[in-house]
Amino acid sequence: MRFRKFAAPLVALAASTLAAHGAPANLVATGDFDYYVLTLSWSPGFCDTGGAAKSPTQCAAGSGEGFVVHGLWPDNLNRANPENCGEPGHISSAAMAETHGVYPDEGLARYEYIKHGLCTGLSPENYFAAVKFARDQFVVPDALKAPHEKISTSPGQVESDFIAVNPNLTADNMAVTCGGGELVDVRFCVSKDISAFVVCPKVTGHTCHSSSISVAPLR
């Protein structure tokens, strides 16, 4: 495994290759933050732990949603994370079209751009394209793509399953979160140009510590 060092306030960001060439130049963030957290929600677990009230379409019976993007969030090692960085202005239909098949619905995508995307310095079109680019770098383990029966597992096993199918990914680059004994989401730390994994103790510290969890089946 190859490692590179990136300058950052007080702590170095150790990173290993994620994407061979990184994001296209127009998708590289210019905002003042250290790295991204890409969060993939496991829809059935999200819905079972309070998400149904927030996203009824995503949680409807027969929706068939599995892992979906919840957010691509600017994050910092030793500073507060940037949020709500200004007024969004007009978000065009072309920008929203970039979100289809990435977020579970346009409402969440719009909310995520206003709260987080503005802080990247990217336009809505480029931010949503960057989200899709980041999402597309990850492989979901076969067992977690479309289970139709409940899976009994552990946070460590979910972590290992993702590490096994995503070269260079390590436990230092991710977190598995849970609620009510269920898998809720998986989070990955990646560089601002989406070319490398980043070591992120603040994020990995939120990994679920339960000895066992369940992965709820698709609805």
Active site residues: 70, 112, 116
77: number of CA atoms within 13 Å, CB side? 17
Bridging pattern class, strands 13-17 and 151-153:
unpaired
In this structure, are residues 146 and 120 in contact, taking their beta carbons and an 8 Å threshold?
no
Q: Which residues contact 13 (CB under 8 A, 6 or more apart)?
A: 5, 6, 34, 35, 77, 191, 198, 199
- Take residue 94 and report the two structure tokens written for it: 């072309």
